[in-house]
Amino acid sequence: MFLSFFFFFCGLALITQVKVEGCQQPKNVFLLAGQSNMSGRGGNHNDTNNIVKWNGKIPPECASNKNILRLNANETWEEAHEPLHNDIDYLKTCGIGPGMPFANAILAAKDPSLRSIGLVPCAIGGTRIIEWSRGTRLYRRLVDRAKASLTCGGKIRALLWYQGESDTSRHDSKLYKVRLEKFFNDLRHDLNHPNLPIIMVGICSADQGPFMNRIRIVQLNYNDTNVKAVDAMGSTFIADQKHLDTKSQIRVGQKLAAAFLSSFAHPH
């Protein structure tokens, strides 16, 4: 019986240790949402059987770092690694996205207050803005994961938003501004963060048709002090001409970091 109690208490100790390790809290939390160019397809290619594969190549700008954590699908913090969205956008083949180059660029600034970075991947490929509206599955999961990321403290510093390619039809592009504004306002309200900084990417995919500029105009001219935009124009793509290649994902991630550092790193 003594041995039974001994192993029982040892088991409790192990469980506690796991919970403590899983609860290590990055001080600066960033939400990553949108569609496939946020979840990342850099390094993807079709193999001889026409199956999409990731090449597994991780450039230095996307390297793991003990000071960069990610909230995995089980809502546990772990060291972040590429592909960042692998267990979130799991129905697609994920590759390099902007999240890791963003986080590494933040660390490279050597700001003592920004030495602990937490990334919360939430992006899903092929999604329209209406699929992110309040009450939808994606919206609820975004809010739930955002709240879970703060269980042990920390602060949500910004939402990184890269979406819009799926809204370039004549109909959806007309409604994009209203839908985007409502999404941002609802999210700020439901996270009790009325001035949540948002940094979004102006889309640029090569084959989005004649209405892509309607989306870009909304994104690049958004009238809100706490919303900044970076432009992906000039990007290069993988073979499908829809998804940014690794080089351009790094470029976008670094642009997002520069926007955060210049506008939101030290709020007044």
Q: Which residues are catalytic?
A: 36, 240, 243
Is there a contact between 64 and 153 (Cβ–Cβ < 8 Å)?
no
> Cis bond leading into 83, ω under 30°?
yes
Over its C-alpha atoms, the chain yields an Rg (Å, rounded) of: 19
Report the alpha-carbon distance of residue 84 to residue 206 in Å, rounded: 24
Beta bridge partners of 29: 118, 156
Report the alpha-carbon distance of residue 218 to residue 224 in Å, rounded: 12
Closest C-alpha among 83, 63, 65 to residue 73: 83
Report the alpha-carbon distance of residue 87 to residue 210 in Å, rounded: 34
